[in-house]
Amino acid sequence: MKTFVSSLGAEDTVAKLLQGVEAANMRVVAHINGQANAAKMGKEVPADQILEVFRPDFAIRVWGACKAAGHDIPLRIHVYEEGDAVKVACRMPGEVFAPFGVAELDAIGSELDGIFSEILASVPEA
């Protein structure tokens, strides 16, 4: 798991990640905004957002390499407040796919590791 502290607030961190996803030619499959959902229930919680990120051509390759690995896509980037810090966490693709023990899937994971590293690098670390 790659985890680091952002030098930005939560909303600006998410905005930078969204820009990074686009720059890396990936797609946001879902954006789960935990604090916005809590606010709909009249509750206030610290920032907690998840970006689910992937791309159809990678999905087709994953399914071809190991159908069971389809359970683990799209991949997630988690932005959350912990105390005074805004943290970004991502289980890197190579780590996600390693337990399957499939060489072709490992190669896809390595390729995606580079892409996800680029996306994460769009956020300045504290």
The two three-digit tokens of residue 88, written as one number: 């970004």
CB 96 within 8 A of CB 68: no
- The per-residue pLDDT for range 38-78, each reduced to its tens digit, is 999 999 999 999 999 999 999 999 999 999 999 999 999 99
CATH of residue 72? 3.30.310.70
- The domain total for the chain is 1
Whether 126 maps to a domain, the answer reads no
Whether 60 maps to a domain, the answer reads yes
Q: What CA–CA distances, in Å, run from 84 to 29, 51, 121, 125? A: 29, 21, 21, 14
Whether 95 maps to a domain, the answer reads yes
Whether 76 maps to a domain, the answer reads yes
Whether 55 maps to a domain, the answer reads yes
Report the predicted TM-score, pTM, of the whole model to 2 decimal places.
Answer: 0.94
Whether 67 maps to a domain, the answer reads yes
CB 113 within 8 A of CB 98: no
The β-bridge partners of 28 are 53
Rounded to an integer, what is the distance from CA 25 to the centroid of its chain?
14
Whether 125 maps to a domain, the answer reads no
Whether 21 maps to a domain, the answer reads yes
Average pLDDT value for the chain:
97
The β-bridge partners of 4 are 88
Domain extent for 85? 2-120
- The per-residue pLDDT for range 17-35, each reduced to its tens digit, is 999 999 999 999 999 999 9
3-state secondary structure 71-126: HHCCEEEEEEEECCEEEEEECCHHHHHHHHCCHHHHHHHHHHHHHHHHHHCCCCEC
